[in-house]
Amino acid sequence: MSIAKPWLSQYGAGVPPEINPDAYTSLVDLMEEAFAKHAKRDMAAFRDSRWTFAEIDAHSKALATWLQSLNLAKGARVAIMMPNVPQYTVAIAGVLRAGFVVVNVNPMYTPRELEHQLKDSGAEVIIVLENFAVTLQEVVERTPLKHIVLSAMGDVFGPIKGPLVTFNARHLEKNVVAFSLPDNERCKQTTLKAALAKGRAGKYVRPVIQGADPAFLQYTGGTTGVSKGATLSQRNVTANILQCEAWLKPELDKIDGQLINVVALPLYHIFALTVCFFLSARMGTMNVLIDNARDLPGLIKTLKKYKVTQFPAVNTLYNALVEEPDFATVDFSRLRMCIGGGMAVQRSTADEWQRITGVPIVEGYGLSETAPVLTINKLDNKGYSAAIGYPLPSTEILLLNDDSQVQPTGEPGEICVRGPQVMSGYWNRPDETAKVMTADGYFRTGDIGVFDEQGQIKIVDRKKDMILVSGFNVYPNEIEQVVSLHPGVTECAVVGVPDERAGEAVMLFVVRKDYSLTEKMVAEYCKEQLTGYKRPKYVEFREDLPMTNVGKILRKDLRDEAIRDLALRRKDQKAA
């Protein structure tokens, strides 16, 4: 089906209508070109140290060589479980250069969540920062892991500073809890430093990789209650890098000197992976890595050391920073681009950010399944637009109603997208893939949007029950399945409610089997089973839950009630 593309007339100077998604055979081609082109430039900065493109190139090649020595099959899955530290950049590039598939793991996952992801992906290797090894310890024997690569915080800092950084992490910051991991015939253990040393002594063999080969399994929540891996091919991610470059480069080329990007978004998140890691590498940008964005004073202290040019983030972080008095003392003289994604940017946050920095937040939109960017606002926007912008080059978007009919301009419909950045499907889940793909290859996002006459899109609703907490997808079914296993619970339901800081918050309704069950007990149970952003902010006990005549819980009714009750509660608090 050919479609009209009114948005093309709105493209800025120098932005092409199409990109060539096959300009590179693989991400390895694209990365190695960047390593060679920008060899002498700084690629990463972290804790007052810097690493050049040539240094990351050498480290990642050594890791790739060592990984190849394990004799795993082509396409083997390698999990990476780290925050934003320089060895993460080494690991991403190393795994891909070895010919394997990256499985990004949220390091804050609970054992239950980690076990599912390792089993589902079939990961045979995990590269994990020792700070999080205690979580792996609890599940490793129940996973298919054959190799554990254990990294210390100071591993790539060099012979003098490295041991000091590791000592501080272990003994002063006390970030490493005592752990015990296997090292036997079934599951062997090595350190990252040892793997790099062995790799440097070996011979790297460049793998043959095709565009259709998987590059990443990006896990996202599932309607069935378990997360599923969006299979992103080499071509998917390469295409999205080139699409983003086509949109952003004309503006970024106006900046004198090296571009400096703030990476406060976690690299395991698809937004940071594509926009911060790969696009930054391609453009020779230095990434300032932030391993704990919740430490706002520490983040602001870091920002004062660099005249940054780009700051991608979610609304939650933008809002938290503008509320810090010291943030206004940062030098924003080189700041040119602030991209908001992952969740809706709020007008109050955008206005205050622009007042302080002088730079508007340019909002974009995408999903893990689309590598991720689909749309973005024009970079010459003077302020908040409340829209998610225009489709990127080589991106086709239709708005479909419940009967799969295309909606006219001004009428709401589900945002359905086709383009080279759209995933090949969910890992080992053809049934789930079939639910989200149309017969002619469009991916159903589950978000409801409206086109204006110029082809700009505004999101007006969400078709799915998904909750968006600080840019992270939370699926009610997963939380409900976990909570329903508590012996004191008869049944439960989860909805999302508006939240000033996180965009949305999780609210849990519980019908008790045991009336001694308290909110505190539920909260403690959820803390053991769910990572932070999935945990309910509100817990309410009910005698029963509203249901249809066939026994389906009416989440919409619960959500409407909850929103009314919270609004009244906040009104009473203000009056008091």
Q: 304-317 pLDDT, tens per residue?
A: 999 999 999 998 89
The DSSP symbol for 380 reads T
Q: Which residue stretches of 217-330 are H helix? A: 234-252, 270-272, 279-282, 296-303, 315-322
From 94-98, 155-159, 564-568, the region with the lowest mean pLDDT? 564-568
φ, ψ dihedrals at 237, nearest 5°: -70, -40
CB 89, CB 203: distance < 8 Å? no
Range among 22-36, 308-322, 447-461 with highest mean pLDDT value: 22-36
Tally of domains in the chain: 3
Q: Is residue 34 part of a domain?
A: no
Q: Which residues pair with 289 in a beta bridge?
A: 263
The DSSP symbol for 31 reads H
Q: Which residues pair with 288 in a beta bridge?
A: 45, 262
Percentage of the chain modeled with pLDDT above 90: 85
Domain boundary among 462, 485, 501: 462
Which residue from 275, 450, 439 is spatially nearest to 364, judged by alpha carbons? 275
The Cα 285–Cα 255 span in angstroms is 12
Query: Dihedral (C-alpha) 473, 477, 481, 486: value to the nearest 10 degrees?
Result: 80
The Cα 185–Cα 146 span in angstroms is 8
Do residue 72 and residue 170 come from a single domain?
A: yes
Confidence of residue 234 (pLDDT cuts 50, 70, 90): very high
Q: What is the mean pLDDT of the chain?
A: 94
Confidence of residue 462 (pLDDT cuts 50, 70, 90): confident
Q: Is residue 274 part of a domain?
A: yes
Q: Is residue 38 part of a domain?
A: no
80-89 residue pLDDT tens: 999 999 999 9
Distances (CA, A) of 325 to 303, 328, 329: 14, 6, 8
Q: Indicate if the pLDDT at residue 222 is higher than 70.
A: no
Beta-carbon contacts of residue 462 (< 8 Å; ≥ 6 apart): 446, 447, 448, 468
Q: What is the pLDDT of residue 571?
A: 77
CB 95, CB 101: distance < 8 Å? yes
Confidence of residue 455 (pLDDT cuts 50, 70, 90): very high
Beta-carbon contacts of residue 510 (< 8 Å; ≥ 6 apart): 483, 489, 491, 492, 517, 522, 539, 540, 541, 542
Arithmetic mean of pLDDT, 332-349: 91
510-521 residue pLDDT tens: 999 999 999 999
From 55-64, 203-212, 338-347, 543-552, the region with the lowest mean pLDDT? 543-552
Q: Is residue 36 part of a domain?
A: no
The first and second tokens of residue 237, run together, are 């991610």
Q: Is residue 389 part of a domain?
A: yes
566 or 284: which carries more pLDDT confidence? 284
Do residue 313 and residue 363 come from a single domain?
A: yes
**Cis ω before 408 (30° cut-off from 0):** no
CB 61, CB 277: distance < 8 Å? no
Q: Is residue 45 part of a domain?
A: no
Distances (CA, A) of 24 to 30, 32, 211, 233, 395: 6, 11, 8, 13, 18
Residue 79: give its domain's CATH number. 3.40.50.980
φ, ψ dihedrals at 464, nearest 5°: -80, 165
The Cα 51–Cα 44 span in angstroms is 5
Do residue 413 and residue 432 come from a single domain?
A: yes
Q: Is residue 241 part of a domain?
A: yes
Q: Indicate if the pLDDT at residue 185 is higher than 70.
A: yes
The Cα 282–Cα 189 span in angstroms is 34
Domain boundary among 424, 441, 462: 462
The Cα 62–Cα 497 span in angstroms is 48
- Count of residues in the chain: 576
CB 135, CB 114: distance < 8 Å? yes
What is the extent of the structural domain holding 404? 6-20+233-462
Distances (CA, A) of 509 to 224, 374, 431, 505, 554: 19, 35, 30, 13, 12
Domain boundary among 438, 462, 486: 462
Q: Indicate if the pLDDT at residue 223 is higher than 60.
A: no
The Cα 158–Cα 144 span in angstroms is 33
Q: What is the pLDDT of residue 463?
A: 75
**Scanning the structure block, which residue is given the tokens 């700041």?**
335
Do residue 261 and residue 382 come from a single domain?
A: yes
Looking at residue 164, its amino acid is L
Residue 265: give its domain's CATH number. 3.40.50.12780
Cα distance from N-terminal residue to C-terminal residue, the chain: 59
The Cα 391–Cα 240 span in angstroms is 12
Q: What is the pLDDT of residue 549?
A: 61
Q: Indicate if the pLDDT at residue 4 is higher than 80.
A: yes
Residue 484: give its domain's CATH number. 3.30.300.30
The first and second tokens of residue 63, run together, are 């890791």
Confidence of residue 224 (pLDDT cuts 50, 70, 90): low
Do residue 241 and residue 361 come from a single domain?
A: yes
Do residue 73 and residue 113 come from a single domain?
A: yes
Q: Which residue stretches of 358-486 are H helix? A: 430-436, 476-484
426-439 residue pLDDT tens: 999 999 999 999 99
Instruction: Determine if the pTM surpasses 0.95.
Output: no
Q: Is residue 314 part of a domain?
A: yes
Do residue 126 and residue 205 come from a single domain?
A: yes
Which residue from 539, 552, 533 is spatially nearest to 510, judged by alpha carbons? 539
Do residue 477 and residue 421 come from a single domain?
A: no
Q: Which residues pair with 78 in a beta bridge?
A: 102, 125
Confidence of residue 548 (pLDDT cuts 50, 70, 90): low
φ, ψ dihedrals at 231, nearest 5°: -85, 105
Do residue 199 and residue 125 come from a single domain?
A: yes
User: Crossing angle, helix 347-357 and helix 315-322, to 10 degrees?
Assistant: 50
124-175 residue pLDDT tens: 999 999 999 999 999 999 999 999 999 999 999 999 999 999 999 999 999 9
Q: What is the pLDDT of residue 479?
A: 92
Q: What is the pLDDT of residue 162?
A: 97
φ, ψ dihedrals at 56, nearest 5°: -65, -40
Confidence of residue 218 (pLDDT cuts 50, 70, 90): very high
φ, ψ dihedrals at 302, nearest 5°: -65, -45
Do residue 116 and residue 74 come from a single domain?
A: yes
Do residue 415 and residue 494 come from a single domain?
A: no
Distances (CA, A) of 148 to 86, 109, 140, 435: 19, 17, 9, 36
Alpha carbons within 13 A on the beta-carbon side of 249: 14
Do residue 425 and residue 479 come from a single domain?
A: no
Confidence of residue 555 (pLDDT cuts 50, 70, 90): confident
